[in-house]
Amino acid sequence: MNEHASRPPAPGAEADQVPDLASVFRAEHGRVVASLARRLGDLDLAEDATGEALLVAAERWPGQGVPPNPGGWLTTVATNKALDRIRREKRRQDKYVEVATMIDRIPSEPPEPTGPVEDDRLRLIFTCCHPALAPENRVALTLRLLGGLTVAEIASAFLVPETTMAQRITRSKQKIRATHIPYRIPGPEDLPARLSGVLAVLYLVFNEGYLGSSGEALRTDLTAEAIRLARQLREMVAGTPALGPLPEVDGLLALMLLVESRAGARVSGGVLVPLEEQDRTTWDAEMIDEGHRLVRGCLAVNRPGAYQLQAAINAVHTDAVEASMTDWSQVVQLFDQLLATTPSPVVALNRAVAVAEVDGPEVALALVDPLPLTAYHAWHATRADLLRRLGRWDQARSAYGRAIELAGNEPERTFLTRRRDALPAPSTPGPAV
């Protein structure tokens, strides 16, 4: 499968199967696997049986149409497939008895799509994002089991050979099985730490799509997947009142929506377009509305965290009809809070960009220069821009040069190259602009 396979089909594309079959599969995969995993206590069997059920659906649905409750249909078929498998494997006699009694309790009516079923997916995501698994394996497992992406799709998204990704996923499932990583929602004392691990996985998926270490500027399949999973996580948390309010979940969803709302304006003709030059009429108003609603809602809980603050910063930008109307002092204030919550040189760098708008490029440059980020292209690009605004052309030129060398993707490189080439020639004395 090529790297475009996981993207939604282009509008008007020839559909040689029931429309949206792939997106139905993806939407229901986590629910079906999670439900089976809980009842069978076997993640591998749950995944295989779900795969078999999807094959049956792929054969039948194009002719017979998608059933009214596709998740319930798939769960029933997958359960039967799992039982068949268990019957064939006689050595698992004890499990057969257990499941055979269980099957009597499975109602012929499709299960309700809410309630304990949501719980199952929540358990599954905590299993997939368990700290005993390596971070890259958490990402792969989450996309595979919750997101329903194929191994080939995940491999191409992260630019590793399919066999490598398959091995990574197999080993992770083996570790879950052998070490008995539990299939449950962590207790209240562990929940905050474990939840932040889950959010980090979703944000990793999103950033891989948005920042594209792969060389492309945007991988909309991954950003859309991260948003979809974050939305599911939010539903699951809301459906589990015992967890209480967890505003960072809303904060992360808002952050991703607000960043994604600008995706269409971010690259034009293969060149990165900086925030202040973007055509704001092309920003996605629906995503912005949802993002703003979420930001207001979670800030009202008054338990600020890194995702909420970053979402709030983005909301200040999406609030401004024109770049010149941006409330930069509010951006600086929010960055002050963010720096207090999660002190890091990268946050300090982004804060300095906002400071430049309030106190001028000279003040900002003094903040940027001492940061230990000489290997980070954005540090050089920020310096280059500040030096350009100060009319220090030669220093700006060499900073652009370093930024171009280190930049990860082509649209950004092209943008930086154009900025550098637009600087006045070395001999021209220039006043500060």
Partner 1 sequence: MTQYLLSVHDPESGRPDMNESDMQPVFAAVDAFNKELQADGSWVFAGGLEEASTATVVDATGTDVLVTDGPYAETKEQLGGFWVVEAPDLDAALEMARRGSAACQSPVEVRPFQSE
Tell me which residues touch partner 1 (CB under 8 A).
Answer: 130, 132, 178-182, 186, 190
Residue entry with tokens 């980070």:
376
Instruction: Give min distance, CB of 92 to partner 1, in A.
Output: 12
334: helix, coil or strand? helix
Select 131 or 424, whichever has its Cβ closest to partner 1: 131
Alpha-carbon distance of 157 to 212, in angstroms, equals: 9
Select 95 or 389, whichever has its Cβ closest to partner 1: 95
> Which whole-number Å values give the CA distances from 194 to 131, 183, 219, 242, in the listed order?
8, 13, 27, 16
Strands 267-268 and 271-272: antiparallel
Tokens standing for residue 369: 């220069």
What dihedral angle (degrees, nearest 10) is formed by the CA atoms of 48, 50, 56, 59? -100
Alpha-carbon distance of 146 to 224, in angstroms, equals: 14
Instruction: Give min distance, CB of 186 to partner 1, in A.
Output: 8
Tokens standing for residue 99: 């499941």
Select 32 or 141, whichever has its Cβ closest to partner 1: 141
Instruction: Give min distance, CB of 79 to partner 1, in A.
Output: 24
Instruction: Give CA angle at 84 (82, 90), nearest 5°.
Output: 105
Instruction: Give min distance, CB of 184 to partner 1, in A.
Output: 8
Instruction: Give min distance, CB of 178 to partner 1, in A.
Output: 5
Select 194 or 389, whichever has its Cβ closest to partner 1: 194
Select 151 or 185, whichever has its Cβ closest to partner 1: 185
Select 179 or 344, whichever has its Cβ closest to partner 1: 179
Instruction: Give min distance, CB of 193 to partner 1, in A.
Output: 12
Select 9 or 135, whichever has its Cβ closest to partner 1: 135
Alpha-carbon distance of 259 to 410, in angstroms, equals: 20
Select 115 or 131, whichever has its Cβ closest to partner 1: 131
Instruction: Give min distance, CB of 35 to partner 1, in A.
Output: 20
Alpha-carbon distance of 311 to 260, in angstroms, equals: 12
Q: Cβ neighbours of residue 138 under 8 Å, at least 6 residues apart?
A: 128, 129, 130, 197, 201
> Which whole-number Å values give the CA distances from 118 to 197, 281, 286, 411, in the listed order?
19, 37, 26, 40
CB 144, CB 151: distance < 8 Å: yes
Select 95 or 280, whichever has its Cβ closest to partner 1: 95
CB 225, CB 143: distance < 8 Å: yes
Instruction: Give min distance, CB of 301 to partner 1, in A.
Output: 28
Tokens standing for residue 302: 């008054």
Instruction: Give min distance, CB of 252 to partner 1, in A.
Output: 24
Select 178 or 433, whichever has its Cβ closest to partner 1: 178
Tokens standing for residue 177: 């099985």
CB 399, CB 379: distance < 8 Å: no
Instruction: Give min distance, CB of 177 to partner 1, in A.
Output: 10
Alpha-carbon distance of 225 to 238, in angstroms, equals: 20
Select 5 or 132, whichever has its Cβ closest to partner 1: 132
Alpha-carbon distance of 2 to 162, in angstroms, equals: 11
Instruction: Give min distance, CB of 181 to partner 1, in A.
Output: 5
Alpha-carbon distance of 109 to 120, in angstroms, equals: 19
Tokens standing for residue 23: 């997106």
